[in-house]
Structure 1
Amino acid sequence: MRFGILGETRAWHDDGTEVPLGGPARRALLALLLVRPGAVVSAERLAEEIEPGGTVSAHAVQSQVSRLRAVLPAGATIERGGAGYRILLEAGAARDAGDAEGGGEAVGGRGAGDGELAVDAVRFERLADEGRAALRDGDTVRAASVLRQALGLWRGTALAGLPDSESARLAAARLEELRLAAVADRIEAELRSGEPRAVVPELRELVGAHPLSERLAALLIRALFAQGCQAEALVVYEETRRHLADELGADPSIELSALHRELLNAGTAPTPAAPPSPLTSFVGRGTETSEVATLLRTARLVCLTGPGGVGKTRLSAEVARGAAAAGDDVCFVELAALRDGSDAARMLLSALGLRENGLQMAGEPQTPLDRLITALSDRPLLIVLDNCEHVVDEAAALAARLLTACPRLRILATSREPLGVIGEHVWQVRPLDEDAAVRLFEDRARAVRRGPAPDPGAVRRICAALDRLPLAIELVAARLRTLEFAELAGRLDDLLAVTACGSRGADARHRTLRSVVAWSWELLSEDEQRAARRFAVFAGGATARSAREVCGMDGDTLESLVDKSILEAVGGGRHRMLETVRAYAAERLHESGEEKRIGRLHAAHVLDLLGNAGQHLLRASQLEWLPRAAAEDGNLAAALRRALGAHDHGTALRLLASAATSLWIRGVSATAAAHAAALLEAVGEEFGERAADASPDAWGEEYAVCVLLAAATSAGQPAWRRHRAAAQRALEVAWPGDRAGRYPAALLLWMMRNAGEADPGAAFTLVAAQHTCPDPWGRAAAAYVSGYGPLSDGDTERAAHDFRTAADGFGALGDRWGSALALDALAGLAGARGDRAEAVALTDRALALTGELGALEDSADLLVNRGDQRVGRDPGLARADYTEAAALARAGGSSAGLGAALRGLGDIALLDGDLDEARRLFTEALERIDPHWVKSLGNRVCALAGLGRVAEARGDHAAARDHYRQAAASVSGLGPRLPDTLRLMGLQEAAAEAVMRAG
């Protein structure tokens, strides 16, 4: 059942059919009882209300009640109560009534479930109260919805059709006042939700109908002002003041007068805070500035994220200045000073030049957010919220609410983590590229010190050490005011302590690198700080699995640290820390007391990764596993430093041995040479003697690998000479022939290096033992090295057979590295017999294989060999090969490879007649070529012969003979067929003849 008195009095059954109430007397009787359901109304009053001034008897009233009872729907009862009557409604009726009107959930949500809710006036009052409460709580969207629902219950004038009595008039007037208050509440909710244009026409009509209502006048004033109609708002105030004076003889209330003063004070439009003016040039972000500006034309919320000091604020300011220059309204809001995120809206109000309590009614206070919505609801504006990370939740809520309520608003935020708002476009601000970083350093250096520009190479190294972070570069460049450049470069190990001299105007957290990182660190939870400090052991980054096993870091924590710019994703499922962050985290790890334990876990994990990769590096799956091993180079170096520092020589040996195959294949073994030499120095020669005599499962093979790695650079040659004999014996124990050792690549490299010695017999003895080795890769390696024996004797057919056997063996295993070595050897034989086309074709095949592997040293060696094949017919192509080889050798740190390339360029200079350049190149080549490496022997002979030809061209025959004799001595031990040997080494005919005469 339902009853309605908000209009003509009516009643309905549960099925919606209307109840026939009868004539006006019965409708008036029901209405009077429904005004206060459950309250007793005296019979005398009922008689008076039914017929004012009439003579209705108590019996007549009883008769009307009886007739009304007969038609009432189920659930409604009229009963006698004392000297009058009352109507009782069952609770079930309330649910039905609420459902029927669509208001059951809203009303019931406030605990009302009594039968009185079957009356529309009661439901209206409950809903109006609920809407007003929501408005007070600041939930303007819900308030507007509930109040619309309440007002939707009205069908006309309250208690329409009742006889004109004082009681009826008072009851109707009360309901109409409540209705007008609900309308005002609904309009205020809509106005505070950012809908001023929609409510202005309605407010004009209401103010015209109720000219003495100060609240309606205040609402109209606020709505007009929000639309920019300040003059019209002043007119409304003046008309209201006149009506009050003329009709009531009263002045406007204190609240309305205060609103008037606010309106007058707002006569000058507030000026939003402009972006900060730059004090220095803007370097290296031009493209990003344009791209972010373009994105903001279609995206309403863009968040610039990245680590501290990467330049988010500067980039946002440049974008904002560009928008302002294009005529857009811009407001720049700096949130770094906030301690409480609840003040973010107030900070924005202040930046906009608005008063927090402007144009609002006392007693109905607006929140700062309401104030912002009113001011920005229809205003085109770009707001920059800078440094949101420490109040990210509050900043996100503010941005989301403003963007929802203000359709012409755009927001550009900067934060070390995304805001996490629907519709947000995240723009990761990266460190500067290398060239931009150098330009920034040089620009800031010139600003503090005059003089010659610093060495560009050294500047690049400094910028790389600073992660190419703009703030870090500016802080360090500023130190040139008091430090010499060389002194500054030598103090970069203490990155975090570098202070920006003369930057007193900078924010405190931007005065040192330490404060920049600390700002981010303090925003982390305890679990995040623990995981981050442990991650500091990963100098080369880590996968999620590695972070979990070493740091105990779960996926949520990893994702959170990425979001907060403590870690960054670098592709391939890996994450890394910027060096500035890692240095700070390492300090925290040391302070925690768990540095040694985490360091041991890290070393064990690196050993496991490299050991697992080593099983695949000499097989078909090497393309998949080489990048995995290469990714751990930084971690290998860090683990080696910790092991050497802790005198944990066993761990250091195993680390070097596990990594060696990857380093050799990629041609970057020189990067580990210093560690290997330091380790050999630490263990001493006695260790080598013990290792050579130990069982195969001891560390003898690891020791031999370490000796090989030390020999990769000239600095390690002394260690190589001291430990060579012991390492030879250790390898013989590890690879006796009837069983395989653990590091097959070491076997090949050892044989190659020792084959170039004056007495290579031991190496070839080791080779001979491997022809029946159970390891197929070891057998292929033995065949490859064996080919150099008959080659030195002039037996090219036997040499070709051995090289083809090796190529077949390596190819069957899918090993591109070994296959390339064998193809290169076959190419040398083809060139020696004059088949240059075949030689180049074989070299091209080998280059394709090393290119797949990213093998820098071997690719450089192959390019030199191809240049040697081309130099006689096309010096231009040969020059290109030598130049590319030099670049690859430098990138891989290969001194021998660079020496070979320089020798080739020396040949080109000699052909061009540039004797000075040729002499310089040959001399530098000899300084770099490894005389113990069998494949370097030819380049050494060619360089010596080249110097001889330069001297001969200048008429210095004595010097020429001396160089030719040195060349002849280098090959005299390789066999009786010197002409064939020289031809295999690629010497030009005139040089070969001179060497033979000298020999």
Structure 2
Amino acid sequence: MLGPVQVDGAAVAAPRQRALLAMLALEVGRIVGHEKLIGGLYARPPAGAANALQSQVSRLRRAVPGLVVEHQPAGYRLLAEPAEVDLHLCRELLAAGRGAQALALWRGPALADVDAPFADEARRALAEVFADCVLAGGTTQDLRRLLAEQPLREDVRAALMRSLHRDGHQSEALEVFARGRELLADELGVDPSPALAAAHLDVLRAKAPHRGLPAQLTSFVGREDDLRRVTKWLQDNRLVTLIGPGGTGKTRLAVEVAGRDPGEVAFVDLSATTDVARALLDGVGVREAGLLSTGSTGTAGAGPGGAGSAGVEERLRAALASRHVLLVVDNCEHVVDEAARVLGALLAGCPHVRVLATSREPLGITGETLSPVTALDTEAATRLFLDRARAVRPGFTAEHGLVAEVCRRLDGIALAIELAAARVRSLPLAEITARLDDRFRLLSRGSRTAAPRHRTLHAVVEWSWGLLTAAERDLAARFTVFSGGASLAAVTGVTGSDVDTLTSLVDKSLVESTGDRYRMLDTIRAFCAIHAPDLRERHARWFLAQAQQAEPHLRAHDQVRWLDRLAADHDNLTAAVAWATTHDRGLALELVAALATYYWFRGLRTEAARQADAVLRACGEIAPPGLEQEYAMCLLLAWPVAAGDQSARIRQAADLLALLDAPPRYPVMTMMWGMALGAPENGSQVWHHRNRLLGADPWSAALALVGDGLLARMQGDETRGAQLLRAGAAAFEQVGDRWGAALALTQLGEIALAAGDAAAALGHVGRARGMLEELGATEDTAEAVVATAQARLATGDLDGARDGFDLALTLARRSGARVVQAGAHLGLAELARLTGDHPAALAHCDRAWELTPGGWYGPDEMRCHIALERGRVCRAAGELDQARRHFEEALCRAVGQRNLLTETAVRAELDALTAP
């Protein structure tokens, strides 16, 4: 909307639909009321305005494929992430201090091609957002244009003055002030505000020239927000230290910041010296001979801390006592103690000196402001790669996603990206990508004029490694066992190191700290792993203990917190299972079994199935002695994705469970057994044995209620099924298990829908969806969205149903949940049948069939319903013989599943087919 209204770069042709889309996008994710939409679209609402609005929404959906506009009783809402709408992304970027990126989103005047009653007011509000973008990230030209449009805005005038001043146009900056002062007096009869007057004073005070900054041979790319932030901090603080790993671009950022400072600047590189004071003295332009002529004690060549050094420091303070100067002190990390001592004394004795330092760890001086220089974000990293690649290979082009992948794998480290970009002169980009696993060998050619530590990626990391103590090197090497970071407890528990050593690695930029998690960049990990002992078994056993500790909590009131704890370590858990699968099959079985509840309740069933299948293939056909339960758990998890005879795996799991004479170690196993085997005959031996395996704990009691409720439904007793399911939902809520409660509520929704009470169905499913979203269970949430869409279809809300099925497809595809995708396609098939589009209905049925794996109770039930829907479509199309064949297949499957409810529905369809 920040320009003409577009969707993925394409315009919406119809003016009224364009205006409707804009109104919904302004409130993305929120319901916009009918009256507000009508009033915003029509100066004079037509007769039947509600119907006209509904018609416009339908046309908009057709005009923009994939657009999801959901209908609610109170109005309509656009289902999308806020960041998918440029206005909301713009506001997020502004809030994050990324003004240049926010400004880049603007393509012209907001809502430029919208002509509707709401538009003028909306444009006025958006004009303020544009002004904020220009103030936060605009160039001098941007500020000129904005001031021309709003000449009385003093904040814009002050910003333009400062920008002109930074560009060296001091006289023009003063002219801008003079014109503003005259305009304010003539138009408003007021003097300039304090902010505008302060900008005027800053320009007047700037006299001293720049000196000593090294010239740069390449463009500055990707640190615009950092540049503004550090510039601002240097205005308010006398010592700012840029910290971060080697190669991230600290020196370049410091030079760019200093280059925009209006005062005197001196640059001092400490990388090749240990005499900090003498390097500073040379950097500020005081000749050594001047020092010797003062008659100071000691010799000029004395080392740091000696008498000669004291004389140098005295001379340095004398030289800077009254000077207004910014010292850029580069590469402090290898002399950090000495640099801190000398600079601390200098700042204390020279009130007009400011210091911008770069280091891989803080200087630790009182009053120091730290500015971490972290990895470039994907957009900035991609721009840097392309800029440097085109410098060595003019006209270079590449698929944006592939460049972004290279930059991501290089951790957004500026030097690594530049070295990789330089290789495009001799290697295709795909070849560079393929060789990144051996990144130190690939990126071994840098500039011959660069300092040795910056010529190769290996040299950059080796420089940091060389500054570590023996204990720090040991922990850095051991830390590489983690995937995706680790908590403090995990670091100390797995590596055996101490907290002080870990915090020291954080200070030295070898490890990053975010909240309560610690992580290492992949590039640093690759170097440190060369020196690492093999801690993978210890790592796997530590995370097994964490999974076992968490499992009971996943079925209780604090399950969300414990699910989040395991989710934070998902990469570590996956790595532990992968290692154990090839090195310790018993440990792998224990891990998968302990994680089954996490996988199931987090909606990771497809991922869990693949892991369990790999473990089973490693173990072979026979369960290891003493691990029969764990083997059975893997069977119950894995068979939906297993190749071969899936029913044989289910029977094997049932045989192993038949050997149990007490509840299993993990109660979720009983639930999974029921899901896999299907409904047993009431009173059968299997039914009695399964009930004996239910524990006496409250969670198992709730599971029994829900299981009996499901069984009653399948046997055709909807009333008793509903009673048991309500009791089960309440019992699960009492113990704190949202997943179990959501399972029961979803079934209650189906019962209500079958009884014709769509409103009650929406209420039950809505509660279930809220619980599942709280758990972060993507697969289950998608199932709840399907159920919601089915209820909307029953109410006649065809647009709402279509939106719901489309949303469910999107969610299910993200998590790889094929059966849920099949359910969404089945819903779309019913929708197409009801609207008379029989070919589309059959196509959706075919797609649902393709997506449904065979041999599992849940998927086989899905195949039954697909056959039933195919029969209904064929009957509606007049193909009665074909309809009968589909109904007979559905009946066969329903009988096989002992699902009397579905069987009754299918028999009713067959009876109707043969009725005169």
TM, length-normalised to structure 1:
0.63
Match of 1:582 in 2: 525
CA deviation digits over 1:885-911, x for unaligned, max 9? Answer: 344334434333344345545666777
1:531 positional shift: 1.5
Match of 1:292 in 2: 230
1:433 aligns with 2:366: no
Match of 2:269 in 1: 334
1:725 aligns with 2:662: no
1:834 positional shift: 1.0
Q: Gaps (5+ residues) in structure 2?
A: 1-207, 298-307
CA deviation digits over 1:458-498, x for unaligned, max 9? Answer: 55544443333333334344444444444443333334433
Q: Secondary structure at the match of 1:382?
A: strand
1:807 positional shift: 1.7
Identity of aligned residues (%): 40
1:411 aligns with 2:355: yes
Match of 1:701 in 2: 629
Distance 1:977-1:896 versus aligned 2 partners, 3 A rule:
closer
Distance 1:322-1:753 versus aligned 2 partners, 3 A rule:
farther
Match of 1:605 in 2: 542
Distance 1:976-1:606 versus aligned 2 partners, 3 A rule:
closer
Match of 1:82 in 2: none
The answer (yes or no) to whether the contact 1:275–1:321 under 8 Å persists in 2 is no
CA distance in 2, matches of 1:502, 1:761: 75
Distance 1:363-1:542 versus aligned 2 partners, 3 A rule:
same
Q: Which moved more, 1:308-317 or 1:295-304?
A: 308-317
CA distance in 2, matches of 1:916, 1:346: 85
CA distance in 2, matches of 1:436, 1:744: 49
The answer (yes or no) to whether the contact 2:446–2:454 under 8 Å persists in 1 is no
Aligned ranges 1:181-580 → 2 under 5 Å: 272-277=211-216, 279-280=218-219, 282-283=221-222, 285-323=223-261, 327-336=262-271, 338=272, 340-342=273-275, 344-358=276-290, 361-364=293-296, 367-441=311-385, 443-444=387-388, 454-499=398-443, 503-571=447-515, 573-580=516-523
CA distance in 2, matches of 1:719, 1:458: 40
Coordinate RMSD, CA, aligned? 3.8
The answer (yes or no) to whether the contact 1:906–1:919 under 8 Å persists in 2 is yes
The answer (yes or no) to whether the contact 1:467–1:579 under 8 Å persists in 2 is yes
Match of 1:866 in 2: 788
1:512 positional shift: 3.8
Distance 1:642-1:943 versus aligned 2 partners, 3 A rule:
same
1:569 positional shift: 1.5
Distance 1:765-1:464 versus aligned 2 partners, 3 A rule:
farther
The answer (yes or no) to whether the contact 1:820–1:847 under 8 Å persists in 2 is yes
The answer (yes or no) to whether the contact 1:448–1:481 under 8 Å persists in 2 is yes
CA distance in 2, matches of 1:633, 1:602: 13
Match of 2:817 in 1: 894
Aligned ranges 1:10-159 → 2 under 5 Å: none
Q: Secondary structure at the match of 1:331?
A: strand
1:967 positional shift: 5.3
Aligned ranges 1:930-949 → 2 under 5 Å: 930-936=853-859, 939-940=862-863
The answer (yes or no) to whether the contact 2:269–2:331 under 8 Å persists in 1 is yes
CA deviation digits over 1:850-880, x for unaligned, max 9? Answer: 2222222211211111111113433343344
Q: Secondary structure at the match of 1:871?
A: helix
CA distance in 1, matches of 2:374, 2:750: 48
Match of 2:728 in 1: 806
CA deviation digits over 1:602-628, x for unaligned, max 9? Answer: 222111111111121111121221122
1:780 positional shift: 2.6
The answer (yes or no) to whether the contact 1:385–1:412 under 8 Å persists in 2 is yes
Distance 1:762-1:426 versus aligned 2 partners, 3 A rule:
farther
Distance 1:937-1:645 versus aligned 2 partners, 3 A rule:
closer
1:379 positional shift: 2.3
Distance 1:299-1:939 versus aligned 2 partners, 3 A rule:
farther
1:832 aligns with 2:754: yes
- Code of the aligned partner of 1:852: E
Distance 1:583-1:916 versus aligned 2 partners, 3 A rule:
farther
- Code of the aligned partner of 1:781: L
CA distance in 1, matches of 2:857, 2:389: 49
The answer (yes or no) to whether the contact 1:790–1:796 under 8 Å persists in 2 is yes
1:824 positional shift: 0.9
CA distance in 2, matches of 1:923, 1:322: 64
Match of 2:166 in 1: none
Q: Secondary structure at the match of 2:267?
A: strand
Distance 1:830-1:511 versus aligned 2 partners, 3 A rule:
farther
1:960 positional shift: 7.5
Q: Secondary structure at the match of 2:362?
A: coil
- Code of the aligned partner of 1:536: T
- Code of the aligned partner of 1:586: A
Distance 1:864-1:522 versus aligned 2 partners, 3 A rule:
same
1:418 positional shift: 1.0
CA deviation digits over 1:692-745, x for unaligned, max 9? Answer: xx6xxx211111222233335x3x3448555332222222334x4xx3211111
Q: Secondary structure at the match of 2:236?
A: coil
CA deviation digits over 1:638-680, x for unaligned, max 9? Answer: 222332332x111111111112211211112433444322221
TM, length-normalised to structure 2:
0.68
CA distance in 2, matches of 1:965, 1:275: 83
Q: Secondary structure at the match of 1:575?
A: strand
Match of 1:682 in 2: 618
Match of 2:181 in 1: none
CA distance in 2, matches of 1:870, 1:569: 47
Q: Which moved more, 1:762-771 or 1:927-936?
A: 762-771
CA distance in 2, matches of 1:378, 1:704: 80
1:439 positional shift: 4.5
CA distance in 1, matches of 2:664, 2:406: 43
The answer (yes or no) to whether the contact 1:629–1:659 under 8 Å persists in 2 is no
Match of 2:601 in 1: 665
- Code of the aligned partner of 1:577: M
The answer (yes or no) to whether the contact 2:829–2:842 under 8 Å persists in 1 is yes
1:278 positional shift: 5.2
1:499 positional shift: 1.0
Q: Secondary structure at the match of 1:308?
A: coil
- Code of the aligned partner of 2:818: S
CA deviation digits over 1:777-829, x for unaligned, max 9? Answer: 23332332333333233221232233223223322321111111111111111
Match of 1:171 in 2: none
- Code of the aligned partner of 1:882: F
CA distance in 1, matches of 2:278, 2:899: 94
- Code of the aligned partner of 1:704: A
The answer (yes or no) to whether the contact 2:410–2:522 under 8 Å persists in 1 is yes
Q: Which moved more, 1:437-446 or 1:834-843?
A: 437-446
- Code of the aligned partner of 2:518: H
Q: Secondary structure at the match of 1:866?
A: helix
The answer (yes or no) to whether the contact 2:868–2:906 under 8 Å persists in 1 is no
1:842 aligns with 2:764: yes
The answer (yes or no) to whether the contact 1:676–1:706 under 8 Å persists in 2 is yes
Aligned ranges 1:746-895 → 2 under 5 Å: 746-755=669-678, 767-770=690-693, 773-872=695-794, 873-895=796-818
Decide which of 555, 574, 579 is 1:642's aligned counterpart: 579
Distance 1:967-1:276 versus aligned 2 partners, 3 A rule:
farther
Match of 1:740 in 2: 663
- Code of the aligned partner of 2:289: N
Distance 1:799-1:403 versus aligned 2 partners, 3 A rule:
same
- Equivalenced residues, count: 695
The answer (yes or no) to whether the contact 2:782–2:820 under 8 Å persists in 1 is yes
